[in-house]
Amino acid sequence: MRIKVCGMTDVDQVKQLDEMGVEFCGFIFYPKSPRFVFKYMPAINIKKIKGNINKVGVFVNAPSEEILQTVDSCGLYLVQLHGDESPKACEKISDYISVIKAFRLAEDDNILWKIKDYKEVVDMFLFDTEGVGYGGTGKKFNWDALLGLDIDKPFFLSGGIQPDDIPALRTFSMDPVAKDLFSIDVNSRFEISPGVKDMEKVGKFVKELKG
C-alpha cells in the first residue's frame, strides 16, 4: 500500500521518509497553514531534494500562475488542490502537471455527485474530512461512506489516519471501492508539533502497513 506523508517542513525528515520507502511527501503552500513550508525553508531547498520520493505541492485556491511557478521553483512532481477549485481551474493546471483534487467530505455528502465534474480533468482524488476552513482537521471521516462506490479514479484516503488504524485500513482494502485506492495519506496524527514528524511512529506505521 502506498503512503503519502503530508505537511513536511524538514529536509532531513523527507530523506528519512525516502529511505523508509514512503512514496509521496506533501509540502503545504497555503500561507494560513501552520505547516506552510516557506516558513521553514526556501524553494531551492525543496528543489534540491532528490531520491525516489515524489514531491507533492498542496495549494488552496491559489492562482494558476502562482502554482505553476512554484512547481518549477520547487521541482514538484504532483499538485494537490485542496480548496474550492473549479473543474476548469483544475484542468488548466493538469495540462502542465499531474493533479490530485481533494474533497472535504461531510457525513451527508453525495460523493459521486461531488466528484463527477472533475473526473475528466484531474488525475487523482483525495478524500479528507470536512472542517472549518481549509486543510486537514486531524479528524477521521466515516470511511463507510465510500464503501461499495465505484470511484473509477485513483484516490488517496486521508482524514485523521493514525498509527492504530492499520487493521481498519486492511478491512477497507477488502471492499470493492479499494480497487481505486492509490495511497494512504497521513499527517497530524504522526507529529510531535506542526510540521515535525515523529519518525519512530512513522517508521513503525510504514513497516506494518507495507509488511
The domain that holds 185 is classified in CATH as: 3.20.20.70
How far is residue 57's CA from residue 205's CA, in Å, rounded to a whole number? 23
132 vs 8, residue with greater confidence: 8
Per the structure, the complete domain to which residue 24 belongs is given by: 2-210
Question: How do residues 83-113 score in pLDDT, each as one tens digit?
Answer: 999 999 999 999 999 999 999 988 888 999 9
Question: How do residues 50-83 score in pLDDT, each as one tens digit?
Answer: 999 999 999 999 999 999 999 999 999 999 999 9
The model's pTM: 0.94
Contacts of 123 (CB under 8 A, 6+ apart): 78, 94, 98, 99, 100, 154
Percent of the chain with pLDDT strictly greater than 90? 87
Task: For the chain, state the CA radius of gyration.
Answer: 16
Domain count, the chain: 1
| pLDDT in the model for residue 139 | 60
